[in-house]
Copies of this chain bind each other. A is one copy, B any other.
Amino acid sequence: MRGVKVSLFGFGNVGKAVARVLLEKERFFRERYGIALKVVSVADTSGVVWLPEGIDLQEVLLVKETFGKLSAWTNDYEVYNFTPEEAVEDIDADIVIDVTNDRNAWGWHLAALREGKAVVTSNKPPLAFHYAELVGEAEKRDVPYLFEATVMAGTPVIGILRENLLGDTVRRIEAVLNATTTFILSRMEQGRTFEEALKEAQSLGIAERDPSGDVLGIDAGYKATILHCVAFGPITFREAMVKGIDGISQEKVKEARSRDRTVRLVAVVEKGKVIVEPREVSLDSPLAVESHENAAVIKTDLLGELAIKGAGAGLKETASGVVSDVIKAALRIA
């Protein structure tokens, strides 16, 4: 049995979902992979709980759910006021998990890699702006830097492009990478205005209070940028051409439907080119997704066309990608 020490950064909904999977499937991971994961620290914005012998995940989940923040926990554990940089340097761990929304996390990702720690992340901006430095540093040090959950949640489109199809040359990727815009566009097809559909998405918790990241195509743009980096080499979000769904009229959406087509926020990725914009797709295309599904169509020289479709959002679904990467990293470093 290989013991692997894990530092978890981010303890919102995704972080809690990851902790729950690590807790509930601990025996499965021991039996199937011979890996015993030990979470030595958990951090939210209020503080860092750190216990080198391993934190009781059931307890830390209970504290978070009861008090809303880790700093309220004063009984058995010390809560530290580390910055993430300090934490990745001071806390002895094999794998650092970043499931925060910290836009500046690339700095402490780099710090972790320089310490020889594997990094697993669902956090998009570090990759969308600093892919070359991060992956370069990881390769130089031969340390895993894994980010399956940044694109299409746990649906393994990154794994397919990064570790499979190794003999193929990718020509083009078309994908629907944002579920909130799919929800809004579906509702508009059913007769709602953009504003009504957005309000409904917000009241259901599908869109955030500030929906601009989804609606303006920024979230899809980050993801498309990451797909470009993996399939064609480094590029940054600044070079992506992104147009959101905010300018789309209900008439246009309904009219497309009357021609057996549907408007989706589509990402098109080719060498040197990242485009995100609303496009019509045929109803029998894999890109005509509904609900929280994402889809990608990958075109290559040998295989031709490959379509993958699966969850693009959701807590368990995102935890799926994070935890798969944690196991992958654990198997590589052990």
Name A residues whose Cβ lies closer than 8 Å to a Cβ of B: 21, 25, 28-29, 33, 148, 153-156, 159-160, 163-169, 286, 300-311, 314, 316-317, 319-320, 322-324, 326-328, 331
Contacts of A159 in B (CB 8 A): 159-160, 163-164
Contacts of A148 in B (CB 8 A): 164
Cα(A307)–Cα(B301), bound, Å: 22
Not counting A154-B303, A159-B159, A306-B309, a sample of 13 additional A-B residue pairs whose C-beta atoms are within 8 angstroms of each other reads: A154-B168, A155-B303, A155-B306, A156-B306, A160-B164, A166-B323, A167-B319, A167-B320, A300-B320, A301-B316, A304-B310, A305-B310, A305-B311
| 20 CB < 8 A contacts A-B | A21-B167, A21-B302, A29-B167, A154-B168, A154-B303, A159-B159, A159-B163, A163-B163, A163-B164, A164-B324, A302-B323, A303-B311, A303-B317, A304-B310, A304-B316, A305-B311, A306-B311, A307-B307, A308-B308, A309-B309
**Which chain B residue lies CB-closest to A305?**
B310
**In the assembled complex, how far is the CB of residue A39 from the closest CB belonging to chain B, in whole angstroms?**
14
- A-B pairs, top 5 by smallest CB distance, nearest first, are A167-B323, A302-B320, A166-B327, A156-B164, A306-B310
**Which chain B residue lies CB-closest to A165?**
B324
**In the assembled complex, how far is the CB of residue A165 from the closest CB belonging to chain B, in whole angstroms?**
6
Cα(A113)–Cα(B164), bound, Å: 22
Cα(A155)–Cα(B300), bound, Å: 11
**Do B303 and A306 have beta carbons less than 8 Å apart?**
no
- Which of A308, A319, A327 gathers most chain B CB within 10 Å? A308
Contacts of A166 in B (CB 8 A): 33, 323-324, 327-328, 331
**Which chain B residue lies CB-closest to A35?**
B166
Supposing A156-B160, A156-B165, A166-B33 touch, asked if A319 and B306 sit within 8 A by C-beta, the answer is: no
Supposing A165-B156, A166-B328, A168-B154 touch, asked if A319 and B307 sit within 8 A by C-beta, the answer is: no
**Do A28 and B169 have beta carbons less than 8 Å apart?**
yes
**In the assembled complex, how far is the CB of residue A206 from the closest CB belonging to chain B, in whole angstroms?**
16
**In the assembled complex, how far is the CB of residue A151 from the closest CB belonging to chain B, in whole angstroms?**
13
Cα(A156)–Cα(B164), bound, Å: 7
Cα(A159)–Cα(B306), bound, Å: 14
**Which chain B residue lies CB-closest to A304?**
B311
Supposing A154-B165, A166-B327, A324-B164 touch, asked if A286 and B309 sit within 8 A by C-beta, the answer is: yes
Cα(A311)–Cα(B297), bound, Å: 13
**Do B320 and A310 have beta carbons less than 8 Å apart?**
no
Contacts of A28 in B (CB 8 A): 169
Cα(A153)–Cα(B304), bound, Å: 11
Contacts of A314 in B (CB 8 A): 304
**Which chain B residue lies CB-closest to A317?**
B303
**In the assembled complex, how far is the CB of residue A304 from the closest CB belonging to chain B, in whole angstroms?**
5
The contact of A317 among B163, B302, B317, by CB within 8 Å, is: B302
**Which chain B residue lies CB-closest to A322?**
B167
